[in-house]
Structure 1
Amino acid sequence: MRNKGGIFPTFFLSGFECSTFLWKDAGRRDLCEETQHRAHADEDYRMLRELGIAVAREGIPWPLVDRNGSLDFSYIDPFLDAQRRHQILPIWDLCHYGYPDDCDPFDDSFAERFAAYARAAAEYVTKRSHHGPHFFTPMNEITFFGYMAGEWAWAAPFGKDRETRRRFTLALCEADIAAVKAIREVVPDARMVHIDPLILVVPPQDRADLADEAWRETYDDAFFAFDVIGGRRRPEAGGNPEILDIVGFNNYSFGQMEYREEGPHAALQPGDPRIRPLCDLIEEGWKRYRRPVIVAETSGMEGGRDDWLNDVVTESLAAVNRGVELHGICMFPAVDMPDWHTGKWLNNGIADVEKLANGTLMRKPYIPYVQALHRWQRRLNRVTELDENPYDQAVNLDDIVAAAKEIAPQADADWH
């Protein structure tokens, strides 16, 4: 990692919830509208600028811009306008758990349809963007999408068994690879940020017979998508390391779990001796691919958000001391989001929301979280507010390496 320039203009990134799944009991949903992010795009991006965050994950809602193959990208124009105004660099998420109503992910035409959409999306945003380089996440969280829509029946295609999940996951991988190739036909230097959860699954303490199943989910199923996209498995799909490109690991408290024969699994509780340090998990993932890494999503809940950020940054710096090429940490989401199942606000954003009498969701930054961010920005020699030209140079990774060595954090299994 020594003497290597960073990929992004700031080390801390953020992003906005943008799921557009066909939900089990609510039809087509648009989480961007539920959080009013589109209506508040200028305010939301201005907040990032004032926080010293120059990179944001942003969604293009495939099911809403692709109507029977006819594409209309005007939905994202407020995002493009706000990004230009506040000089925020987007990582465009092209499929966040949703595909058009007339698509069948198990049909041979699915990958071709997605690739055509991805190519058109890349052309649209690059012609209107204010700055490069151009970043894309073709298929978000393929592994998790496979489980929640292919085995747990939360969203379309409403699969209910392991075999459907595996078929669906492979179809998403093939579509992703096709999309990367299509995007690079029109934007040859486009960078790809592939994202999936970083997890640990352990057997119940009284079920040693389930150890193999737990291991398989942690080290086989959880990395299947990255393996296919990176060319390690299913080479006929056409993956390779340059298509995988940048590896993003999502990390939440529920990512370390006890195996259940009928999923989802049960999150390990704080203090459980089976919990492993986040540093270890990041290091193992990085060694598997040897690609640039970011923590692509992470957040605590309610009053624990500042402590969570402190823990994640500390564990990430411990991973840097082990040689991990870490390029950033994404505080996700920037604005609070509702629980998909209950609708209750999670209080996990940089800003919470307060519903006014007229229905407007007013943004209210959670101050302890912001203060923790600023402390780390100063500690890592990063800006706390963007200047007039946030793109004059990328993050100097030597600063990150130097801070990691000076702080010398120890991996902590009790990092919850």
Structure 2
Amino acid sequence: MTGGPLTERPFRSFWMGGYEGADHVNGRGDALDMVRATGHDRLLVRDYREARRLGLRCVRESVGWRLSERAPGAWDFSRAQCMARTARREGLQVLWTLMHYGVPPDLTLLDDALIPRFARFAAAAAAAIRPLCPGPRFYTPINEISFLAWAASSSDAMGPAGAPREVGAREDSRISGYAIKRRLVRAALAGMDAIREVDPQARFLHIDPVIHVVPTEDTPDQRALAEQVASYQWQAFDMLAGRQDPELGGHPAALDWIGLNHYHSSQWEVPSEKRLAWHLGDPRRQPLSALLGQVWQRYGRPLLVAETGHIGRGRADWLHDIAGEAQRALRAGVPLGGVCLYPMLDRPDWYEPARWHRSGLWHVPRDARGAAVGRRLVRPYARALADWERGRRGATALATPDPVLRPR
């Protein structure tokens, strides 16, 4: 596959926004609800209106399996339905994530019972959402299968499926989480079938990080290790497509749209695990456009940058970098349907909730108890977004509704 035009434009805007929705139980036993932590549940109307004002007419939201299934087969979708109704009133399109890491308390990621339970949940969620959302309706059955499998296999960060976290322990990307990955792929495929039973027009967006890995030292063993670790990023997509472990039930049609998450930390060396510093211009880094091109050549499916963003003062510069890379990818014929900024709202750390990441398009002021009480736009970040929407940077605009490059 050498490139080609984007033959459909199902999203209301090229630039999108993602709201943090993780709902897993962390290694300390804290049951996370990131929608509540950021105040997004209480300030939903304001958040959607502010997003639309900045031209972000497509947003990513999470239903959350753990939060929605109060008992086996007993679901509460009132939060997702409120989001759907509000989005419709405000003219926004929602791309829905069903499982955002968390599972009901009587399950773990090691249980085969997870698969039929998830399928029933997915069908119920789609049935609840469908009447409230005009098409096309996009579902991500399980967010970041590869990342979740790795995180749950390498530590207890995702709850009881993982090993206990050791103080001072560093990440180890040599772990792929293959057994959990296989189970999550089976669940995603079962969920897709169940969703189609209640929403035959459903579209699917499978999302995982796109990464680049290099050896710490240029030796044959370390080069082989870097290639091995980098290859883990393809496993979930290959399983879904039936290219790998076909007994899981994957098939080519399971890959509809492919979402790719990329941050400054998505490129590193092994075995040291040291990140290739973006802010220092590490020459070993690969441009995002090249990574997108690799995915397009491998799968031949339309792509979305489903999460990207930075922290602190680097947010605007990161956006300029990513936008330029999106422009290069489009020029090269990669069918890129959009870029989703994440998170829209600053967010607390999953493991240390008192520490906020300073990463949002909006800062989240908090009261003395730590509760979110408002929003404050991060203006340099917003100006960078406006530059690319209006074509003030470079020769072309990345705007809505048509992301095709055009002269000023």
State how 1:297-336 maps to structure 2 within 5 Å: 297-336=307-346
| Residues 125-149 of structure 1 deviation map (CA, whole Å, 9 limit, x = unaligned) | 01222x2111111000011101111
The question of whether the paired residues in 2 share the 8 Å contact of 1:150 and 1:157 is answered with: no
Larger mean Cα displacement after TM superposition, 23-32 or 290-299? 23-32
Pick the aligned partner of 1:172 from 155, 163, 184.
184
* 1:266 and 2:277 aligned: no
Report % sequence identity: 36
How far apart, CA to CA, are the structure 2 residues paired with 1:273 and 1:3?
31
Distance 1:311 1:103, change over 3 A: same
RMSD after superposition: 2.1
* 1:150 and 2:161 aligned: no
How far apart, CA to CA, are the structure 2 residues paired with 1:276 and 1:329?
18
The one-letter amino acid of 2:147's match is: F
Q: CA deviation at 1:360?
A: 3.6
Q: CA deviation at 1:103?
A: 1.5
The one-letter amino acid of 1:51's match is: L
How far apart, CA to CA, are the structure 2 residues paired with 1:360 and 1:184?
37
Q: CA deviation at 1:82?
A: 2.0
Partner of 1:95: 99
Q: CA deviation at 1:164?
A: 8.4
Gaps spanning 5+ residues in structure 1: where? Answer: 385-394, 407-416
How far apart, CA to CA, are the structure 1 residues paired with 2:375 and 2:86?
16
The question of whether the paired residues in 1 share the 8 Å contact of 2:289 and 2:329 is answered with: yes
Pick the aligned partner of 2:53 from 26, 50, 54.
50
Normalised by the size of structure 1, how large is the TM-score? Answer: 0.88
The question of whether the paired residues in 2 share the 8 Å contact of 1:2 and 1:401 is answered with: no
Pick the aligned partner of 1:396 from 378, 396, 402.
402
Distance 1:65 1:377, change over 3 A: same
How far apart, CA to CA, are the structure 2 residues paired with 1:92 and 1:319?
26
The one-letter amino acid of 1:232's match is: R
Partner of 1:246: 257
State how 1:170-319 maps to structure 2 within 5 Å: 170-205=182-217, 208-218=220-230, 220-260=231-271, 265-269=273-277, 270-319=280-329
How far apart, CA to CA, are the structure 2 residues paired with 1:164 and 1:268?
20
Q: CA deviation at 1:67?
A: 2.2
How far apart, CA to CA, are the structure 1 residues paired with 2:35 and 2:313?
24
| Residues 311-365 of structure 1 deviation map (CA, whole Å, 9 limit, x = unaligned) | 0011111112222100000011111112223332111111111113574431111
* 1:40 and 2:46 aligned: no
State how 1:82-161 maps to structure 2 within 5 Å: 82-129=86-133, 131-160=134-163
Partner of 2:362: 351
The one-letter amino acid of 1:396's match is: D
Q: CA deviation at 1:181?
A: 1.1
Q: CA deviation at 1:225?
A: 0.5
Q: Aligned residues, how many?
A: 387
| Residues 43-73 of structure 1 deviation map (CA, whole Å, 9 limit, x = unaligned) | 1111111111111110111111112311121
| Residues 133-184 of structure 1 deviation map (CA, whole Å, 9 limit, x = unaligned) | 1111100001110111122321124334978821111111110011111111
The one-letter amino acid of 1:113's match is: R
How far apart, CA to CA, are the structure 2 residues paired with 1:17 and 1:352?
13
State how 1:343-382 maps to structure 2 within 5 Å: 343=353, 344-357=355-368, 359-379=371-391
Distance 1:147 1:138, change over 3 A: same
Report SS of the residue matched to 2:158: coil
How far apart, CA to CA, are the structure 1 residues paired with 2:340 and 2:23?
21
Partner of 2:168: none
How far apart, CA to CA, are the structure 2 residues paired with 1:212 and 1:108?
33
Gaps spanning 5+ residues in structure 2: where? Answer: 164-171
The question of whether the paired residues in 2 share the 8 Å contact of 1:173 and 1:229 is answered with: yes
How far apart, CA to CA, are the structure 2 residues paired with 1:154 and 1:135?
28
How far apart, CA to CA, are the structure 1 residues paired with 2:160 and 2:181?
11
How far apart, CA to CA, are the structure 2 residues paired with 1:364 and 1:191?
34
The question of whether the paired residues in 2 share the 8 Å contact of 1:5 and 1:396 is answered with: no
The one-letter amino acid of 1:347's match is: R
Partner of 1:391: none
Normalised by the size of structure 2, how large is the TM-score? Answer: 0.89
The one-letter amino acid of 2:246's match is: P
The one-letter amino acid of 1:118's match is: A
